[in-house]
Chain A
Amino acid sequence: MSILVIAEHDNSSLKQATQSVVAAAKAIGGDVDVLVAGENCGGVAEAAAKVDGVNKVLVADNAAYGHFLAENLSELVAEAGKGYSHILAAAGTTGKDFMPRVAALLDVAQISDIIRVESEDTFVRPIYAGNAIATVKSSDSVKVITVRPTAFDAVPAEGGSAAVEALDTVKDAGLSSFVGEEKAESDRPDLASAGIVISGGRGMQNGDNFKMLEEVADVLGAAVGASRAAVDAGFVPNDMQVGQTGKIVAPQLYIAVGISGAIQHLAGMSDSKVIVAINKDEEAPIFQVADYGLVADLFEAVPQLKEELQK
């Protein structure tokens, strides 16, 4: 068996999710190679070569891959993936975009968002927003899989010394082009991999009030998230959404503030180690999953929390 992991990165740094996908690959077994596709991504390839347990790094460095357009990336991966028994990528918005396209080009099924490896052909994944857990077996010769990064402990970023090999093939499907992007700039840790997350819901009432959460986050070194209700209401941008259709997080500590706990939100955070809920409605479903619940007005409790943490 040999496994090709498609690196998740932003052309300058390797995302930690890649190390979690390598961990999933090691759970399957066999040689693990990593493909870094991007533009001016040599530094990422060097970082990938150092990741513990990586056998070889393939680099496709070309403008066609600079913005990770699925049309181009999928053709590259479908070709570079020939001969591998498994092709794995993180189930972030990039992997979710291009991997099903790879599977279709190879005429195989995709197994989405796995949380456990049972054997080389059998995997465990949540369905129905995590209300059911399915064990599925693939009969395809090549397994195309997206991995939920929070479900696998990242392998160390150091310890490997893989060979780096350049791929010359350029795949430009000519179907799509990049127009622009609006990236939220933040000095706080990445939501998907942060050790502590503090999220706000509809109870925050408006976007300005999220500053209160940001202040607590800065004391704790935490990332700030939100429920779908808060995003839909326009309080905060979409990339902060935690839940079934947003980001899946599993930090050491998750603090839910003014979040009622809709099932779709719980699907995105219920694997957190410790959950704290602050809500003035003591009947809120969030308390059913919280390790520590505080029934209180968040506009009093959150400033107090900041003060108490600074002591």
Chain B
Amino acid sequence: MKVLVAVKRVIDYNVKVRVKPDNTGVDLANVKMAMNPFCEIAVEEAVRLKEKGVATEIVVVSIGPKAAQEQIRTALALGADRGIHIETEEEVQSLEAAKLLKSVVEKEEPKLVILGKQSIDSDNNQTGQMLAALTGMGQGTFASEVVVDGEKVNVTREVDGGLMTVSLNLPAVVTTDLRLNEPRYASLPNIMKAKKKPLEAISPADLGVEIAPRLSTLKVEAPAARQAGIKVADVAELVDKLKNEAKVI
């Protein structure tokens, strides 16, 4: 079966985020960018499904500027077979991303679509669910285990209070949580091979989707800084402070 994986180019998770002085956003100039960590887990899961003989082809898609092709190449080096780049310099919000991906799903007809549960920049946690709604598919969000069984997929989900397993008809959408797998690193030979794998570039207009954001960001501020407090000498002093100074116990 064919698996479609969507990946996003975001700020590297190790980079210290700085708000621009004019409060229009976060400073991304000369900042290291990388594949969103949850998307890496999505790619890894697809590659494992292929290694198990469940998946036959992995198509990776990314929406974003020209540079997003780096992340598609990374996914190809990890084991995806071909890439689709939906190129746009504009800000793409979740609903539009879902509409763009829906067009790709209609063309490619994958049995399974795997996405990260959220991107670490906008922290929205929306696109997979929206894609599932628009394509009329079932969804297994925040997945910690994915088992394909004939025309169904069982997804174990990380939920408040524990784990929950659902059975979904295929085709279906899965979004990844942290413990689904531990992504591998791409080997040098595979990075070289990935350069020769097919990568198709298209525009939102090619897919008949207009980019029209519904949300406008009025300002972006740094959070109120928390001041470091004091060091206490021992447990007795700590308990005394909590009782008599902070009065929280």
Contacts and interface: CB of A to CB of B under 8 A. Distances in A.
A139 B117 CA distance: 25
Q: Is the interface of A mostly helix, strand, loop or mixed?
A: mixed
B123 A129 contact: yes
Nearest to B219: A135
Interface in A158-181: 173-181
Given A103-B130, A136-B216, A309-B239, A192 B93 contact: no
Interface in A260-284: 270, 273-276, 282
Interface in B93-124: 93-95, 98, 117-118, 120-124
A71 B126 CA distance: 14
Interface string B142-167: 10100000000010011111111111
A108 interface: yes
Interface stretch (B42-50, B63-71, B77-85, B133-141): B133-141
B123 A176 contact: no
Contact of B223 (A132, A135, A288): A132
A108 B118 CA distance: 18
B123 A101 contact: no
A182 interface: yes
Chain A interface residue bracket vs B: 35 or more
Counting from the closest, the 9 A-B pairs by CB-CB distance are A175-B138, A291-B229, A100-B129, A104-B133, A104-B130, A100-B126, A109-B214, A131-B17, A179-B165
Q: Is the interface of B mostly helix, strand, loop or mixed?
A: mixed
A220 interface: yes
Interface of B: 11, 16-17, 19, 26, 93-95, 98, 117-118, 120-134, 136-139, 141-142, 144, 154, 157-169, 172, 177-179, 213-223, 226, 228-232, 234-236, 238-239, 241-242, 246, 248-249
7 contacts: A100-B125, A134-B217, A138-B214, A177-B166, A239-B159, A239-B162, A308-B239
A27 to B, nearest CB: 18
B217 to A, nearest CB: 5
Nearest to B182: A232
A111 interface: yes
B126 A103 contact: yes
Interface of A: 67, 69-71, 74, 92-94, 96-105, 107-113, 122, 126-140, 173-184, 192, 196, 220, 228, 231-232, 237-239, 244-245, 247, 252-253, 270, 273-276, 282, 287-296, 301, 304-305, 308-309
A138 B215 contact: yes
A104 B132 CA distance: 9
A232 B122 contact: no
A92 B160 contact: yes
Contact of B249 (A98, A131, A220): A220
Given A176-B166, A308-B239, A135 B160 contact: no
B238 A292 contact: yes
A174 B223 CA distance: 44
A292 B130 CA distance: 43
Contact of B216 (A133, A137, A239, A245): A137
Given A128-B26, A138-B214, A192 B141 contact: no
Contact of A112 (B126, B230, B234): B126
Given A128-B120, A131-B223, A93 B166 contact: no
B20 to A, nearest CB: 9
A245 B177 contact: yes
B179 A231 contact: yes
A202 B134 CA distance: 41
A258 to B, nearest CB: 15
